[in-house]
Amino acid sequence: METDINNEIHQECTTKEIFQKETKQSSDDSTKDVATPSKPLSKKQMKRMEKAKKLGVNKLIRRKREKLQKKVKRKLAEEEGIVTERTGISRKELKRMKDNQIPSDVSVAIDLSFDGFMSGKDLNSCVSQLLRVYSSNRRAIRPFPLHFTSLRKGSEMYKAMDHHEGWQNWNIIWHEESYLDFFDKSKLIYLTSESDNVLDSLEPGAVYVIGGLVDHNHHKNLCNEIALKHNIRTARLPLSEHLVIKSRTVLTINQCFDIILGISEGKTWQQVLMEALPARKKIQLKDDVKTQTNKEKSSVENLEKVENILDKNEKLNESIKNT
Ligand SMILES: C[S@@+](CC[C@H](N)C(=O)[O-])C[C@H]1O[C@@H](n2cnc3c(N)ncnc32)[C@H](O)[C@@H]1O
């Protein structure tokens, strides 16, 4: 195995050397070209050209080196029986996943009408959460038709989105209008931690609305009030039903999205909640706590039994001594 890797490095190095030689050669050639009277270039332009060429070549070499290092590391880990996890999904894998995706019959709309309720920093956090939402949906087996609504050109949210080049090409449906303008009201269900209804399962054909708001709890009940004002159904995620947690726990946009995405893919509430919520929150499943207390109870009972046996033994020994 090691010889294989060494050979590969050797081969890659030779390729690299050839590559370097070739690029040097072409750079020399191009300098010659530049020097011909038919293409008169200023000194400044020539310098700029050289610099750009060098930068490009260095970038290519660096990428090649990094790729090779990763490959060697993975092979060595495989040799030692260590299971390595890829940090990202390759384009090829993404393409394969896309081909196997079956769109969900449930839609999700992210309500982006909260410009005035967020600081610049919160707007940026909101956009990063939207990026996560998009990324989860891209990788899903059953992606939701995903709508970004009330995303008006020129709004602060639109400007914040515009920091991410190419977002207009994402596989989302974005609207300047509100979700109220194009969805059947009877299909809408606004997800909000303040709702009195608990979400049990996803309703086929329904459109779940998530508030595109990062507010650090400064605008409690805002989404619930909006939904009630417009006579839209509401639901909260069943957190307190499955977790040892406060009944009104407010999650981020992407956590909320990942949870319903998991449910649409057939996972259980316990599974999706444990996957979506960060371990640092020290969240425990209610079932686990029950088993733990049962275990503690039975170990106390066992201890009592042992103590009883010891007592009986002691008494027996004493009575033997006395006879
Ligand atoms: C950070 S929260 C915004 C909190 C905001 N104060 C409000 O009025 O909803 C972002 C969105 O995630 C969804 N969300 C968060 N926690 C939820 C929960 N426990 N149940 C249902 N939806 C939740 C809601 O759609 C919410 O608008």
pLDDT tens figures, 75-103: 777 776 665 555 566 777 777 777 778 88
pLDDT tens digits for 161-211?
Answer: 998 888 888 889 999 999 999 999 999 999 999 999 999 999 999 999 999
The average pLDDT across 145-152 equals 97
CATH code, residues 94-281: 3.40.1280.30
How many degrees, rounded to 5, is the angle at CA 275 between CA 235 and CA 149? 45
pLDDT tens digits for 249-259?
Answer: 899 999 999 99
SS3 content of the chain, % helix, strand, coil (to 5): 60, 10, 35
Ligand 1 neighbourhood includes 251 CB (under 6 angstroms): yes
Q: How far is CA 123 from CA 23, 127, 146, 162, 243, in A?
A: 45, 6, 20, 12, 30
- 152 burial level (CB within 10 Å; 0-12, 13-18, 19+): middle
Q: Where would I find the beta strands (DSSP E) of the chain?
A: 107-111, 146-149, 173-174, 188-191, 207-211, 233-235
Ligand 1 neighbourhood includes 210 CB (under 6 angstroms): yes
Ligand 1 neighbourhood includes 212 CB (under 6 angstroms): no
Measured CA to CA, the distance from residue 53 to residue 51 in angstroms comes to 5
Plot region of 221 (φ>0 → left; ψ -120 to 50 → alpha; else → beta): left
Ligand 1 neighbourhood includes 112 CB (under 6 angstroms): no
Take residue 131 and report the two structure tokens written for it: 């990026």
Ligand 1 neighbourhood includes 149 CB (under 6 angstroms): no
What residues does 132 pair with on adjacent strands? none
Ligand 1 atom 18, closest CA? 193
Distance 266 CA to ligand 1 centre (A): 23
> Could you identify the atom of ligand 1 that is nearest to the CA of residue 218?
6
